[in-house]
A and B are shown apart, each in its own frame.
Chain A
Amino acid sequence: MELNSHIPEGKLEEKWSSHKAGLKLVNPANKRKFEIIVIGTGLAGASAAASLGELGYQVKSFCFQDSPRRAHSIAAQGGINAAKNYRNDGDSVYRLFYDTIKGGDFRAREANVYRLAELSVAIIDQAVAQGVPFAREYSGLLDNRSFGGTQVSRTFYARGQTGQQLLLGAISSMCRQITLGNVQVFPFHEMLDIVLIDGRAKGIVARNLITGEIKSYAAHAVILASGGYGNIFYLSTNAKGSNATAIWRAYKKGAFFANPCFTQIHPTCIPVSSHNQSKLTLMSEGLRNDGRVWIPKNKNDNRSPEQIPETDRDYFLENRYPAFGNLVPRDVASRAIKQVCDEGRGVRGKMAVYLDLSDAINRLGKEVISERYGNLFEMYERITGESPYRTPMRIYPAIHYCMGGLWVDYNLMTTIPGLFALGECNFSDHGANRLGASALMQGLADGYFIIPYTISNYLAELGTEKKNVYHPNFREAENKVKEQVRKFLSTKGNRTVDDFHKELGKVLWDGVGMSRSEQSLKDAIDKIKGLREEFLKNVKVNGIDESLNQSLEKAGRVSDFLELAELLAMDALARDESCGCHFRIEHQTEEHEPKRNDEKFSHVAVWEYQGSDNPPKMHKEVLKFERIHLAARSYK
């Protein structure tokens, strides 16, 4: 199969508007004859369900949580970017586009990223109209702050809870459509397979997590907005339920998977403290606006941080990257932190550095800082027992986001006709590294402003005739899912699902984490294979299928992680260069910065499933840069 990204011809600035002008429309009276399934209710899924409902389509929205409002977008802290240029500081659509491409280390599509920057301004308008309580100036105008990888202030925020407020805004629009009868919600439902008829996506099989019932749902098109796979590492900033099952099962039905090795490590998380730790907590990148990252100059300095004078501190980010200082992109900051800790220079020899807001507290006063970051400070104090008002925070990088995901064309359609992927679960906009405050922007751009146009083009060609759930392909998919459930419950081995998941996480963090080498990747692949075989024979899941069974839910998710893990490592092995988050130790400059190889790797690596007995096949989508001049990324 040939990959066709369907990127429109013409000037970069005109691609989206000319593309929209050429898309087919569905007549308003016919819209209600089309059914669309949306998987996931985060920013991308909720905004898509709401805007498609507004247009008059019949939408079925599924989430595994007990309520759509709980999707993990809710936890995004810092903000959302938009090229409003309210600060008169030189921002523009072009600059947001350029920052995003450069931040992604030149591994994203120009046309998609430009469209994202263009749409960013309308997202803020939409959110404000919904009643999202963004931070404001005393004049009543919207406030902004700056984020990593940029030199302008373009981030809109609602204290440290921007994701929560944007998600509740999108959910409120969805609630309105539920009341109007255009959207139907299925909470506590997990999608376990996608069903194709004549090569097109025609529905799904889902399990009701309360009753255990496995049932088919038919539709004219299916949208996946199921989030990222960061939880594959076990310890991550994702919610415990976040999983790759929807996209992985779509991959096994023929949707290609792009750049799986692009997994982002966030520099500022609370360090691991206990061996039974189940999750890592992020401290927003927004803190780097006012916080300074440092370590003691002397390795063996065991004084408490307040007692260490300026002259004995090493502000290593400011020293190494004078132009961007503490606001270098996430991958750059993470690697620098790892490097000093690996050298044994971390706080008291441990894997942690200080993130210190005392200068800002002295300069601006406790009240201003508390207004900006109050909830984060409280969260930090609850978890660590230390108050950031008195002593600097200790932070260390952790897995946070996945740039990789299902391959989509310019219309956000996967390689399966009728199957679309939005938000974090697609690969499209962030290249090898995502800039802060851009995930919310992408999820909402996809859901509010892109999919309503592109899906109509697909549906208009398709016609309103609907397949029903009695088609044998639905039966076959249901039986496969039932068989897997039966298998998990009857294996009766000796190890719990979490135990396998923890081991997988460790294998990945060690071999496919912040730095990777040919050897570490080959070792990881061997270990993953062994672990997967053991899982099939030795997993222990108790209880029954016909009721809420959280171990059974986890077993399905971990079994998919065990398969995806190998693809992740294979992709990292095949990408024999360093770029963005993907740091191959073989390819670095003398100053330990990543060294790209544009000649050989200026492409998207796109993987096609070939059955469980064969290795996947790699396709390449060559990235063509018409506007931007490829350059070594420098934040010095």
Chain B
Amino acid sequence: MKFSLKIWRQKNAQDKGSFVNYEVFGISEEMSFLEMLDVLNEDLTLKGEDPVAFAHDCREGICGTCGLFINGRAHGPLRETTTCQLFMRHFKDGEALTIEPWRAKAFPVIKDLVVDRSAFDRILQAGGFVSVNVGSAPEANSILIPKKDADHAFDAATCIGCGACVATCKNASAVLFVSAKVSHLALMPQGKPERQVRVLNMVKAMDNEGFGNCTNTGACEIECPKGITLASIARLRREYCKAKLKP
């Protein structure tokens, strides 16, 4: 297979950046999308050019490092799939592929396709935890959690923090990300004592980072590689209203 690639190149945060066209040949169906980029980079390196910087690590869809905007879609064309889990059999031979970084004010470009997502970490630090010290935990089975609640909490907790929700949102809102953590902990008894202060602090941190507001377009739900739904956002709103209204 061969592909025509149009890739965003940007030297650093200050550089303006632009698209550059490349061709890749000899790609097989079994190769992953990132392996196709590896082939391009090997070729560029041997030609003496700077290879394309892109973020990746586990290459099995769980670390949340990778994230490319492919033909106008966060993580490319497949539902509930990270960029690293795309395989070339998911594309047509000869197809033109436009590859861009996540674009959001709160995610400045570091180089080429790599962006700075530390804003997410700062939001978690504002309240994404249960205040329990090592040594003070009660016996595990003394906390009973209905299976349904545990399952729903798990569904929210699968967020990998990749930022696709922000990248795909026209407002560059981080509400799906924040709602996933708020939901996970609000659904479990361990998270209940701090639920109000948590939601207020996390939403405040999100606003401080320069993310946009949510207007319920639902784009985030479509592109989330872990299938986190708008139900989380609804829960975030309920949590937020309750916390705000409480004296």
Complex Cα distance, B46 from A239, in Å, reads 25
Asked if A72 and B31 sit within 8 Å, CB to CB, the answer is: no
Asked if B129 and A173 sit within 8 Å, CB to CB, the answer is: yes
Asked if A540 and B184 sit within 8 Å, CB to CB, the answer is: no
**How many Å from the CB of B127 to the closest CB on chain A?**
8
A276-B39 in contact given A239-B59, A383-B85, A542-B50 (Cβ < 8 Å): yes
Instruction: Say whether B34 faces chain A, with CB atoms less than 8 Å apart.
Output: yes
**Chain A residues with CB under 8 A of B59:** 239-240, 278-279, 281
Complex Cα distance, B66 from A3, in Å, reads 44
User: What is the number of residues of chain B that contact chain A, defined by CB distance less than 8 Å?
Assistant: 77
Asked if A551 and B63 sit within 8 Å, CB to CB, the answer is: no
A379-B61 in contact given A141-B144, A276-B39 (Cβ < 8 Å): yes
| Chain B proximity mask over A486-529: 1 for CB below 8 Å, otherwise 0 | 00000000101011000000000000000000000000000000
Complex Cα distance, B129 from A175, in Å, reads 7
Residue in chain B with minimal CB distance to A277? B35
Instruction: Say whether A456 faces chain B, with CB atoms less than 8 Å apart.
Output: no
Q: B110, B118, B125, B153 — which one has the most chain A CB atoms within 10 A of its CB? A: B125
Complex Cα distance, B53 from A598, in Å, reads 51
**Chain B residues with CB under 8 A of A210:** 110
Instruction: Say whether B207 faces chain A, with CB atoms less than 8 Å apart.
Output: no
**Chain B residues with CB under 8 A of A273:** 30
**How many Å from the CB of B32 to the closest CB on chain A?**
7
**Chain A residues with CB under 8 A of B111:** 547-548
| Chain B proximity mask over A49-84: 1 for CB below 8 Å, otherwise 0 | 011001000000000011111101011000000001
Instruction: Say whether B161 faces chain A, with CB atoms less than 8 Å apart.
Output: yes
Residue in chain B with minimal CB distance to A69? B161
**How many Å from the CB of B63 to the closest CB on chain A?**
4
- The SS class assigned to the B binding surface is loop
**Chain B residues with CB under 8 A of A277:** 30-31, 35
Asked if A125 and B124 sit within 8 Å, CB to CB, the answer is: no
Asked if A159 and B63 sit within 8 Å, CB to CB, the answer is: no
**How many Å from the CB of A388 to the closest CB on chain B?**
16
Asked if A550 and B51 sit within 8 Å, CB to CB, the answer is: yes
**Chain B residues with CB under 8 A of A547:** 11-12, 111
Asked if A72 and B129 sit within 8 Å, CB to CB, the answer is: no
**Chain B residues with CB under 8 A of A84:** 140-141
Instruction: Say whether B158 faces chain A, with CB atoms less than 8 Å apart.
Output: yes
Number of contacts between A and B (CB, 8 Å)? 212
Contact of B145 among A69, A136, A448 (CB under 8 A): A136
**Chain A residues with CB under 8 A of B57:** 65, 70, 72, 239-241
A176-B143 in contact given A276-B31, A383-B87 (Cβ < 8 Å): no
Complex Cα distance, B118 from A279, in Å, reads 27
Choose, from B131-139, B171-179, B237-245, the stretch at the interface.
Answer: B131-139
**How many Å from the CB of B51 to the closest CB on chain A?**
6
Complex Cα distance, B239 from A601, in Å, reads 61
Asked if A382 and B85 sit within 8 Å, CB to CB, the answer is: yes
Interfacial residues of chain A within 277-323, with CB under 8 A of chain B in the complex: 277-279, 281-282
**How many Å from the CB of A110 to the closest CB on chain B?**
26
Contact of B157 among A133, A141, A281 (CB under 8 A): A133
Contact of B121 among A69, A122, A281, A385 (CB under 8 A): A69
Instruction: Say whether A197 faces chain B, with CB atoms less than 8 Å apart.
Output: no
Asked if A128 and B124 sit within 8 Å, CB to CB, the answer is: no
Interfacial residues of chain B within 89-138, with CB under 8 A of chain A in the complex: 89, 110-111, 114, 116-118, 120-121, 124-126, 128-134, 136-138
Complex Cα distance, B64 from A549, in Å, reads 20
Residue in chain B with minimal CB distance to A134? B150
Query: Which 9 A-B pairs rank lowest in CB-CB distance, beginning with the nearest?
Result: A140-B144, A129-B137, A172-B129, A133-B154, A125-B137, A274-B30, A273-B30, A128-B140, A548-B111
User: What are 12 inter-chain pairs, A to B, with CB distance below 8 A?
Assistant: A67-B120, A69-B121, A125-B139, A129-B143, A131-B130, A131-B185, A135-B150, A176-B125, A239-B57, A281-B60, A547-B12, A550-B51
